[in-house]
Amino acid sequence: MASVTKSAEILAEKPKELAALRAEITESRRKASELASEYYRRIERKNPQLNAFLSLTRERALAQAARIDALTARGDPLPLLAGIPFAIKDVLVMRGAASTAGSKILQGYRPPYDATVVTRLESAGAILLGKTNCDEFAMGSSNENSAYGPVRNPWDTERVPGGSSGGSAAAVAANLAVAALGTDTGGSIRQPASFCGVVGVMPTYGRVSRYGLIAFASSLDRIGPFAGNVRDAATVLSVIAGHDPCDATSLRAPVEDYAAASDQPAEGLRIGVPGEYFAEGLDDEVRAAVERGIAALRAAGCTVKPVHLPHTRYAVPTYYLIATAEASANLARFDGVRYGYRSPRSETLSAMYSHSRDEGFGAEVKRRILLGTYALSAGYYEAYYRKAQQVRRILADEFLRAFAQVDAIVTPTSPVPAFKLGEKTDDPLSMYLADIYTVTASLAGICGVSVPCGTTRAGLPVGMQVLATHLGESTAFRVARAVEAAGI
């Protein structure tokens, strides 16, 4: 009962919509500096219970708020996100701000540059309050792998918020930020959004620049927003999306007005429902909530039809081969030489490498490095990594065939609602299998949105995943907005 009471207090203050807050600032009914200070007071009050923020960037945030107030005082036009408080996942670098990626091995690291998404948010007037907690190097599905302690779910503080972007999701759910950025490699935005009852967006691979992202798996990593509603998430994506010369994988396709697209009715859209996502292992209450969401889409004028994605059952092993292989290469740079943690037991160069990495990395990160190194090693590359890439191509082709028949695909975001802290930590395989509905879209490079579609009898949020083809974000937002409008 204490956990439920505490959670009710944390969730008591509901965030205003982004447009409403911006209007208050634009019309001089509230100063950006006052709004920022209000959110810092809220963080000071609630964060000790949640552990959502690892560090605060108060000086930088208040300086930005003062600039917005000066523009308002002069009567100058304000940018799109003027004065809006944001949180930033700690795998995204901010100049001079602690950037740990949730790992001991990066303690003390203060990068000399900003991630592209950070620059774009601030150029649009956003106030960046601080850095949020996450699974170490974004490796995890529960936010229990952080070197700085787990994040707690605002809906029930005895439960996980999802991972790896649990701090960002919890911050938005508890109104410690109006919106936040997270990263999604195999579900790390969508699953926490589902567990915390907020909207989370995984854009098409390459839609948002990865420059300034501390890499986990470079062919899978994506940056996307969390928000309290679909339109706000769409607005943020329009700001951070677009080509970046600092990221050769970023797409040159023009950026749409996603907020305006989300305003368009979903009537007439063809919605696919894959039977493979409603099979054994799906919680009954999650199934019922998602089916209510599908019924709401029918009521909104959508045509619902079955589609088939038969290779879905191979997605988890495929993902965990490719992701760990890329992680083993990306994390080789953390050696105790140039920055971050260096073991005091460094009698020789070899000992410094060995001890620094052993002491600096947590158990889950070491597990994935070992798995990835094995998959890439001589004699096993063909059998594991190359085979996984071939299956990845098959999965992507299946989605392309499905999208030739439908405009969007809807599924549960997670097979279960938020689980108890510690419930799966001793069973990594069980934790990995919780990603079954999200890793497929990650492997295929398509976009996805998790939107709340109800709660369980225990009052835990359930998310519906809306998938659309490459650069199909506008369609995904239209469908997600229809579910949101149904108020289920």
Q: Which of 6, 31, 46, 89 is catalytic?
A: 89
Active site residue 164: yes
Using CB atoms within 10 Å of the CB of residue 298, give its burial: 0 to 12 exposed, 13 to 18 middle, 19+ buried. Answer: exposed
Spatial distance between the Cα atoms of 474 and 468, rounded to a whole number of angstroms: 9
* Under 8 Å between Cβ of 61 and 176: no
* Under 8 Å between Cβ of 463 and 417: no
Q: Which of 99, 164, 328, 442 is catalytic?
A: 164
Cα Rg of the chain, angstroms: 21
Active site residue 46: no
**H-helix segments, 75-189:** 116-123, 166-173
Q: What sign has the CA pseudo-torsion 438, 88, 11, 234?
A: negative
Spatial distance between the Cα atoms of 61 and 367, rounded to a whole number of angstroms: 37
Helix then strand count (H, E) for the chain reads 17, 11
Spatial distance between the Cα atoms of 461 and 236, rounded to a whole number of angstroms: 23
Spatial distance between the Cα atoms of 430 and 239, rounded to a whole number of angstroms: 37
Residue 180's alpha-carbon distances to 194, 288, 325, 412, 481, in angstroms, are 15, 29, 29, 23, 19
Active site residue 89: yes
Spatial distance between the Cα atoms of 209 and 241, rounded to a whole number of angstroms: 7
Spatial distance between the Cα atoms of 24 and 27, rounded to a whole number of angstroms: 5
Scan for tokens 């597990």, then name that residue: 367
Scan for tokens 């990995």, then name that residue: 432
- Give the CA diameter of the chain: 70
Put residue 213 in one of left, alpha, beta given phi > 0 → left and psi -120 to 50 → alpha: beta
Cis peptide before 164 (omega within 30 of 0): yes
Closest among 452, 441, 446, 454 to 480, alpha carbons compared: 452
Q: Which of 7, 142, 168, 188 is catalytic?
A: 188
* Under 8 Å between Cβ of 237 and 224: yes
Q: What amino acid positions are annotated as catalytic residues? A: 89, 164, 188
